[in-house]
Amino acid sequence: MSLKLKSGFTFDYDNLYGEGKVTEADLKALEGDLKAAHEAMKVMREKGFIRAHLSKDGEPEKVLFSQLPYVEERHLNSPASLAKLQKLQDHVKDNVDVVVSLGIGGSFLGNKVLFDVQCGAYWNELPKAERKGFPKVYFSGNNIDPRSTGDLIHHLKNMARISCTHADKNGKLKVLLLVISKSGGTLDTMSNFMVIYDALTKEENIDVEVVAVTDPNMENQTLLKKLAIEKGWEQFAVPDGVGGRFSVFCEVGLTLAACIGFDIKGFLDGAKAMDEACQTEDLWQNPAMLNAALKFAASEKHGRDIEVMMPYGDYLKSVSEWYIQLLAESLGKQYNKEGKEVCYGRTPVVAVGTTDMHAQTQQHQEGKLNKVIQFVRVENWKDDLSIPNVFPEAKKLADISGVTMGQALEVARESNADALSSNKRYNACFTLPELNAFHLGELLYMLAMSIAYEGELADVDAFNQPGVESYKRIMGPKLQALKATNAK
């Protein structure tokens, strides 16, 4: 059983729904809640309102991520904002050698997905011509790690010395620091930014420019915005109403996309096509609602409250890592919307096929019956490679020749799915016809909208994160005390 969209995007749920799995009766029992959830999505789209949702300051706050696929005047993504992104792209191409993207959470994870799909692992080793004039890219600010930050600074200084030796562009390395922080004071991001900025601006062989992505509010300016105004840095917005885990579709993700030549229009078009598909009230034709219903029922009716996100393809592992934040922060809630303690939440786990067939599958296959394995596959791989019969005398090796690597990858996934299903292990599969910006937009948006639906089914606020604020309140005074101690 599967749901296939006109684009070819497919949700195969045969191993998740039916006898011995999530049943027709399970979904029948959710009919009223699903209808209410779908009505809530309509209100969210039309008015940006989600019942009982408040900001971290306890104030009413709109939820606007569903607006992002629609490029229209007065929208968060408008013709003017896309033109500004194009201007950034034109600037970095052939003019900037290195972009350092600084962010954490949604300001890192979504950007890493776009980078992996567009660029792959060896982007920075390619000649500039093969990068079509686009810069090398490094990520920082996603941890407070002195070694990795120091290694990055050391590496950039070495690059600058090589640039000086070759007398390229007056012998200076052109570095753009893309610093992304909604609050403008995120400890992890801003500490890395300050350390890197200080080190690079002191290097005579490096020219540094900064692009700041932060809250655009002029009345109550963030520290980063104040700095950007004072220093004359280019600015982009982390808009109100878009939580970090949903922000890959706004300038948080699209600034990095511009710096690597990613197809922004195609990406947003894919998200738009998925949003349109998810506007039907027919459960069996709405990918996000169906996915949410099946996962919710699997958890609450059958105890399958762990979701292993297992894409098949190395460059899709970051999709799984992005999904970790989306699911964990959105649905891991102690209280429901009425203030009752419920301690709801499904636990997400990162995996990648075929790698984790040799690491996690033993647990998936024979461990506790508490998991749903969610596969993602690519139907048609660009530049697929055939496995040659290089050693015909070695029968075991000869037996695996004569097929493409993409075909072998899919056989491995199918075999895993069949084995799991044969032992009462729930699993499902999303299929992307190709790995491109459009289908990536479909996938990420469908997952985001699924989370919104599941929040309504579970009666929890999928758009706040009070648990994250708890440790921040403790950490601030501890840092101040440490600073006072160091000053003595």
Question: Domain for residue 162, yes or no?
Answer: yes
Per-residue pLDDT at 470 exceeds 90: no
> Residue 155 is part of which domain span?
94-260
Per-residue pLDDT at 26 exceeds 90: yes
352-375 residue pLDDT tens: 999 999 999 999 999 999 999 999
**Shared-domain flag, residues 253 and 106:** yes
Question: Domain for residue 391, yes or no?
Answer: yes
- Residue 445 CA to residue 203 CA, distance in Å, equals 42
Q: How confident is the model at residue 166 (pLDDT cuts 50, 70, 90)?
A: low
Q: Would you state the pLDDT for residue 55? A: 81
Closest CA to 113 of 325, 330, 316, 329: 316
388-400 residue pLDDT tens: 999 999 999 999 9
Per-residue pLDDT at 169 exceeds 60: no
Compute the average pLDDT of residues 146-153.
Answer: 97
Question: Domain for residue 232, yes or no?
Answer: yes
CB 319 within 8 A of CB 444: yes
Domain count within the chain: 2
Q: Would you state the pLDDT for residue 58? A: 80
pTM strictly above 0.75: yes
Q: Would you state the pLDDT for residue 165? A: 63
Neighbours of 115 (CB within 10 A): 22
Distances (CA, A) of 36 to 17, 30, 31, 51, 458: 22, 10, 9, 11, 12
What CATH number is associated with residue 52? 3.40.50.10490
**Shared-domain flag, residues 48 and 98:** no
The sheet with strand 234-237 has its strands ordered as 136-140, 98-102, 173-180, 206-214, 234-237
How does DSSP classify residue 461? -
Question: Domain for residue 85, yes or no?
Answer: no
Percentage of residues in the chain with pLDDT exceeding 90? 90
Q: Would you state the pLDDT for residue 481? A: 76
- Stretch among 41-55, 168-182, 266-280 having the lowest mean pLDDT: 168-182
**Shared-domain flag, residues 252 and 329:** no
**Shared-domain flag, residues 401 and 426:** yes
Per-residue pLDDT at 320 exceeds 90: yes
Compute the average pLDDT of residues 111-139.
Answer: 98
Buried b (16+ CB within 10 A) or exposed e, 324-355: bbbbbbbbbbeebbeeeeeebbbbbbbbbbbe
Q: Would you state the pLDDT for residue 316? A: 98
- Residue 239 CA to residue 273 CA, distance in Å, equals 23
Q: Would you state the pLDDT for residue 224? A: 96
Q: How confident is the model at residue 100 (pLDDT cuts 50, 70, 90)?
A: very high
Closest CA to 324 of 340, 344, 341, 346: 346
Per-residue pLDDT at 170 exceeds 70: no
Q: Long-range contacts: 231-237, Cβ < 8 Å, 24+?
A: 233/209, 234/88, 234/209, 234/210, 235/211, 236/84, 236/85, 236/88, 236/211, 236/212, 237/76, 237/213
Mean pLDDT of the residues in the chain: 95
Compute the average pLDDT of residues 312-319.
Answer: 98
**Shared-domain flag, residues 246 and 275:** no
Phi, psi (5° rounding) for residue 379?
-75, -45
**Shared-domain flag, residues 21 and 131:** no
**Shared-domain flag, residues 295 and 154:** no
Q: How confident is the model at residue 483 (pLDDT cuts 50, 70, 90)?
A: low
**Shared-domain flag, residues 293 and 433:** yes
**Shared-domain flag, residues 372 and 441:** yes
Dig out the tokens for 138 from the structure. Answer: 């490094």
Instruction: Indicate the Cα dihedral angle 115, 92, 240, 276, nearest 10°.
Output: -60
**Shared-domain flag, residues 19 and 38:** yes
Per-residue pLDDT at 243 exceeds 80: yes
**Shared-domain flag, residues 224 and 249:** yes
- Residue 103 CA to residue 124 CA, distance in Å, equals 19
- Residue 148 CA to residue 140 CA, distance in Å, equals 8
Question: Domain for residue 360, yes or no?
Answer: yes
Question: Domain for residue 487, yes or no?
Answer: no
E strand or H helix that includes residue 211: strand 206-214
Domain end marker among 243, 260, 277: 260
Residues 280, 283, 285, 291: is their CA dihedral positive or negative?
positive
The sheet with strand 426-432 has its strands ordered as 2-4, 10-12, 426-432, 371-378, 306-311, 347-350
- Residue 441 CA to residue 118 CA, distance in Å, equals 13
